[in-house]
């Protein structure tokens, strides 16, 4: 259906719709199933669908249930307007991929797109037409549990992640049977909640909002995202769900977004709790005028919207504009052409197998080797030994799926234990839990200690459980629970080789792990093929290539910590007390953004930039030579940062502008080539528009955001 046809269809429908039918299109509810059923819609909800009182449903799943509901809407309601089915397909539907923060460590937009595409194929086969993903909130506070859902701390990465996920979910044809509408969420600055506390107020500067928190959402809109979800939170006192200045002023008017805005769960009625609405009618009016088209699971639109109209708080045209956008989305999705297009074709076994292999590939690329002091890796499969695989996450398939695991099947998930058993057939692989995630288990502890004493080497699987992360999971101490620490100390105390695998949805603040263990990997929540992927890395079938998408704090007191900080008037200098630093800790993170080791080493040399003097519109090329100085082949992700050392607005000490991957044989030297445009040197001025300010710029390239590891060059920008 062309845009013109969609518009014609929407307008002709709108002209026929009663007020109740219009209101119905703005209401999204959860399914109510008949008793003892998960596929048959209950009579009362069937009646509401038949009356046109429901326009979309969330948390409904499977071809049978969606077909049952759709049959009622399409064949029994007066106008036959199809329902829209939506679900949180964040990192997979049945085949689960690494949780987003882990996948971000791959620094691979092609991979990010492929996993979204696979997830969309599976979700659409289950009748889903819209996912509440990608989550695009910049996250710089590991106390906040939803950091696991994010791409990390950097807005440039966020923009690349947004583009890749929108392309992957929606494909080139949103009406295709395996396309799923993407929802860029949660706009905006949700990751900056006060003290990392879930749902807390957000107070950020206009500059931080526009330079840090909005770019990924703008990239999603420019990539064609079909929907946006405002955040639960207030922004500088104005709840996002009723924030017309941002949702209308910036997102619709300045960015030209003409898609659908869907509130978060019950967020419209929560405008009363925020203290900006006295009743449901006022809440409904605020949200509708801010451009929120669909009220997810609150009473505000169902019980307050028509009252708001009667009280003159909104106009009929406001309602009609929202209804039209919803009808346009349904038309773009092809729902009017064929409401049963999604859910009609089951996934082919070959597709499912391909998705499993992709999940394993993505999981490998997400693993970050944080520390490698002991030379324990890779293990030599051909030299059988006794490997003890112990800890609460050694055999924990459900935790491997992480939060928002949709229909990930625990029984079909490869645990670390299973993966290593399969990869090391000649070895003795023993197992004991050793500890609960948050509880001491004395019997299991003793069993594990016995095994670690017997074994030649131990894989210690510790960290945080899936239910300790995600929504409503803020932690004031985002580390490893004491019960695990006591258990780990006993294992370290044995004095035999230990490899630590950290399961988590955030950088865990546990300096003791890195003091006691020489070899530590961040394994996040790796998904359906977690164990296979870890085994691939530990056995050397594949080398670790992941790098940190977030700074890894040395302690909680450093939070929020991120590389793109301002220089301040007194940059940190340990030799000078009166500089920007702490008395009791370093200012640097334990591991910087971009940190990640492999099984070889790389040396950077000879950064050169051309032209050395650029004019607006020029293309800038930066090249740097990278040498594999190790004995095995390896893949390196190199980063390019800029700094504007003197500008009318103080600029961060580093700003990421490009990444390049390069694969090198042992001893080989290659050239990483970065291409920028002069627009990459611009910043947002006080009129909130990109401003290209002539002057000198510093260009940095290297393996991570640690300034000491970067090579520097300069470029001068002239005015036209
Ligand atoms: C939740 C989350 C949001 C999700 C929605 C529907 O509360 O905030 O990310 O998409 O509700 O499940």
Per-residue pLDDT, 77: 98
Residue 525 has pLDDT above 90, yes or no: yes
Per-residue pLDDT, 540: 97
Residue 715 has pLDDT above 80, yes or no: yes
Distance 88 CA to ligand 1 centre (A): 7
Per-residue pLDDT, 1: 82
Nearest CA to ligand 1 atom 10: 132
Looking at every residue in the chain, the average pLDDT score rounds to: 97
For 127-185, give the DSSP string: T--EE---B------TTSGGGGGS--S-HHHHHHHHHHHHHHHH-S-TTSTT--B-EEE
The token pair at 679 is: 């627009």
> In this prediction, what percent of the chain has a pLDDT beyond 70?
100
CB 130 within 8 A of CB 85: yes
Distance 145 CA to ligand 1 centre (A): 13
Report the sign of the C-alpha dihedral through residues 117, 121, 122, 126, in that order.
Answer: positive
Which residues lie below 8 Å from residue 1, measured CB to CB, with a gap of 6+? 9, 175, 331, 332, 334, 336, 337
Pairing mode, strands 386-390 and 238-239: unpaired
CB-CB neighbours of 493 under 10 Å: 11
For 496-550, give the DSSP string: S-EEEEEE-SS----HHHHHH-SEEEEEE---TTHHHHHHHHHTTSS------SS
Distance 656 CA to ligand 1 centre (A): 30
Cα gap 443→448, rounded to integer Å = 9
Distance 352 CA to ligand 1 centre (A): 27
- Give the closest residue to 14 by CA, choosing from 334, 321, 339, 330: 321
Once rounded to an integer, what is the mean pLDDT over residues 66-91? 98
Q: How far is CA 704 from CA 150, 551, 680, in A?
A: 19, 10, 19
Reduced to 3 states (helix: H, G, I; strand: E, B; else coil), residue 258 is: coil
- Under the banding of pLDDT at 50, 70 and 90, the label for residue 630 is very high
Which residues lie below 8 Å from residue 714, measured CB to CB, with a gap of 6+? 609, 612, 696, 697, 698, 699
Catalytically annotated residue among 88, 178, 234, 264: 264
Determine if ligand 1 sits within 6 Å of the CB of residue 198. no
Residue 720 has pLDDT above 80, yes or no: no
Per-residue pLDDT, 522: 98
Q: How far is CA 653 from CA 189, 264, 646, 697, in A?
A: 22, 36, 11, 11
Q: Among the atoms of ligand 1, which is closest to the Cα of residue 232?
A: 8
Cα gap 37→20, rounded to integer Å = 29
Q: How far is CA 366 from CA 10, 114, 142, 636, 681, in A?
A: 43, 14, 18, 14, 30
CB-CB neighbours of 137 under 10 Å: 27
Distance 566 CA to ligand 1 centre (A): 33
Q: Ligand 1 pocket test: which of 28, 58, 188, 471 has the largest number of ligand atoms within 8 Å of its C-beta?
A: 471
Determine if ligand 1 sits within 6 Å of the CB of residue 404. no
Per-residue pLDDT, 2: 87
SS3 of 304-363: the string is HHHHHHHCCCCCHHHHHHHHHHHHHHHHHCCCCCCCCCCCCCCCCHHHHHHHHHHHHHHH
Largest CA distance in the chain: 79
The token pair at 347 is: 């996934």
Per-residue pLDDT, 231: 98
| Helix or strand holding residue 239 (H, E) | strand 238-239
pLDDT tens digits along 137-167: 999 999 999 999 999 999 999 999 999 999 9
Reduced to 3 states (helix: H, G, I; strand: E, B; else coil), residue 710 is: coil
pLDDT tens digits along 434-469: 999 999 999 999 999 999 999 999 999 999 999 999
Determine if ligand 1 sits within 6 Å of the CB of residue 190. no
pLDDT tens digits along 246-297: 999 999 999 999 999 999 999 999 999 999 999 999 999 999 999 999 999 9
DSSP label of 249: I
Cα gap 82→72, rounded to integer Å = 9
Determine if ligand 1 sits within 6 Å of the CB of residue 58. yes
Determine if ligand 1 sits within 6 Å of the CB of residue 471. yes
264: annotated active-site residue: yes
């Amino acid at each position: 259906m062309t845009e013109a046809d969609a518009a014609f269809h929407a307008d002709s429908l709108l002209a026929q719709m009663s007020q109740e039918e219009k209101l119905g299109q703005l209401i999204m509810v959860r399914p109510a199933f008949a008793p003892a059923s998960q596929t048959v819609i209950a009579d009362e909800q069937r009646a509401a669908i038949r009356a046109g009182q429901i326009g979309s449903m969330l948390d409904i799943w499977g071809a049978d249930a969606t077909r049952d509901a759709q049959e009622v809407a399409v064949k029994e309601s007066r106008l036959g307007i199809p329902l829209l089915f939506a679900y949180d397909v964040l990192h997979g539907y049945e085949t689960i991929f690494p949780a987003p923060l882990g996948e971000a460590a791959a620094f691979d937009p092609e991979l990010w797109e492929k996993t979204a595409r696979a997830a969309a194929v599976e979700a659409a086969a289950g009748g889903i037409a819209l996912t509440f993903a990608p989550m695009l909130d910049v996250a710089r506070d590991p106390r906040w549990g939803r950091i696991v859902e994010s791409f990390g701390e950097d807005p440039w990465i966020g923009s690349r992640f947004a583009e890749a996920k929108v392309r992957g979910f929606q494909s080139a044809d949103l009406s295709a049977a395996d396309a799923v509408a993407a929802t860029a969420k949660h706009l905006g600055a949700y990751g900056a909640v006060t003290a990392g506390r879930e749902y807390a107020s957000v107070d950020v500067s206009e500059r931080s909002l526009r330079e840090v928190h909005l770019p990924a959402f703008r990239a999603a809109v420019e990539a064609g995202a079909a929907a946006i979800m405002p955040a639960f939170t207030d922004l500088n006192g104005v709840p996002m769900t009723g924030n017309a200045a941002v949702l209308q002023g910036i997102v619709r008017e300045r960015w030209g977004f003409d898609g659908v805005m869907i509130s978060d769960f019950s967020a419209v009625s929560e405008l009363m709790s925020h203290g900006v609405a006295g009743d449901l009618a006022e809440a409904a009016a605020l949200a509708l005028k801010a451009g929120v088209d669909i009220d997810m699971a609150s009473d505000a639109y169902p019980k307050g919207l028509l009252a708001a109209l009667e009280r003159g708080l909104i106009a009929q045209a406001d309602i009609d504009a929202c209804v039209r956008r919803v009808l346009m989305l349904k038309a773009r999705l092809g729902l009017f052409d064929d409401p049963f297009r999604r859910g009609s074709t089951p996934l082919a076994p070959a597709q499912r197998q391909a998705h499993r292999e992709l999940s394993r590939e993505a999981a490998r690329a997400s693993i970050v080797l944080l520390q490698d002091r002991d030379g324990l890796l890779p293990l030599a499969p051909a030299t059988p030994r006794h490997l003890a695989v112990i800890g609460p996450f050694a055999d924990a398939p459900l935790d491997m799926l992480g939060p928002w695991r949709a229909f990930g099947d625990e029984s079909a998930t490869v645990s670390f234990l299973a993966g290593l058993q399969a990869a090391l057939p000649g070895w003795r692989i023993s197992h004991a839990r050793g500890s609960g995630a948050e509880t001491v288990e004395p019997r299991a502890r003793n069993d594990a200690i016995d095994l670690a004493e017997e074994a030649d080497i131990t894989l210690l699987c510790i960290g945080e459980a899936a239910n300790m992360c995600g929504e409503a999971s803020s932690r004031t101490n985002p580390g490893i629970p004491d019960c695990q620490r006591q258990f780990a100390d006993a294992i370290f105390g044995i004095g035999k080789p230990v490899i630590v695998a950290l399961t988590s949805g955030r950088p865990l603040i546990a300096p003791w792990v890195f003091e006691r263990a020489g070899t530590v990997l961040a394994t996040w929540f790796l998904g359906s093929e977690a164990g296979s992927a870890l085994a691939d890395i530990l056995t050397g079938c594949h080398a670790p290539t992941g790098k940190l998408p977030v700074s890894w704090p040395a302690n909680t007191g450093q939070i929020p910590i991120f590389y793109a900080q301002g220089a301040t008037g007194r940059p940190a200098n340990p030799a000078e007390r009166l500089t920007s630093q702490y008395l009791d800790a370093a200012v640097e993170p334990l591991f910087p953004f971009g940190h990640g080791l492999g099984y070889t080493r790389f040396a950077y040399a000879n950064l050169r930039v051309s032209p050395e003097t650029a004019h607006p519109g020029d293309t800038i090329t930066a090249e740097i030579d990278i040498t594999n100085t190790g004995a095995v082949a390896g893949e390196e992700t190199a980063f390019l940062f800029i700094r504007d050392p003197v500008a009318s607005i103080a600029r961060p000490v580093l700003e990421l502008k490009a990444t390049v991957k390069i694969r090198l044989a042992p001893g080989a030297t290659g050239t990483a080539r970065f291409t920028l445009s002069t627009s990459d040197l611009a910043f947002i001025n006080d009129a909130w528009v990109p401003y290209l300010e002539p002057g000198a710029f510093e260009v940095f390239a290297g393996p991570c955001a640690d300034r000491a590891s970067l090579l520097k060059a300069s470029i001068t920008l002239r005015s036209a």
